[in-house]
Amino acid sequence: MIRVAMTGVYVDDVAKAHAFYTEVLGFGTRIHRDLGDGTLFVTVGARGAQPDLQLLLEPGQGPIAEPYRRALYEAGIPCIVFSVDDLRAEHERLSGLGVRFTHEPREQGPVLAAVFDDTVGNLVQLVQPNE
């Protein structure tokens, strides 16, 4: 059986992304290593769930990453999608923490969806399956 072990998002600043993804979104730190020269290797994951799945917070500078990330953002396309049990409650919680939503919760086919700015160069979508 093949499973997803790690996926990544390019970010402006790995340390700032780590703080946002852990302190605001509530992910737990899986790996946090200083590789030298100010380079960090950082992964996060859902607390108490999916222990074998990690999100790599990758430096987003460079000739491939920067144009890719910028194009997605300018087109309004989320770089990743997270699921939640109660989207309206999560929207309220995150809004209360100052998170800026670019797309308020609304029905999108089989899901209720919202999109927010992760403060490090990306749009992130939250979805809740319609019952």
Residue 17 lies in a domain: yes
DSSP state of 65: H
What are the pLDDT digits (tens) for 4-27?
999 999 999 999 999 999 999 999
Say if 47 falls within a structural domain: yes
Bridge partners (DSSP) listed for residue 7: 55
Structural domains in the chain (count): 1
Pair type for strands 111-117 and 123-129: antiparallel
Please name every residue paired with 112 in a beta bridge, in sequence order, or none if there are none. 107, 128
Does residue 89 register a pLDDT over 80?
yes
pLDDT tens for 22-60 read 999 999 999 999 998 888 999 999 998 888 899 999 998
% of the chain beyond a pLDDT of 90: 89
Decide if 1 is inside a domain. no
**For the domain that residue 79 is a member of, what is the CATH number?**
3.10.180.10
Q: Supply φ then ψ for residue 97, to 5 degrees.
A: -90, 5
**Residue 53, domain member (yes or no):** yes
Query: What is the H or E stretch that residue 75 is in?
Result: helix 65-75
Q: Which two three-digit tokens encode residue 38?
A: 């100010």
Domain, as residue range, for 72: 6-129
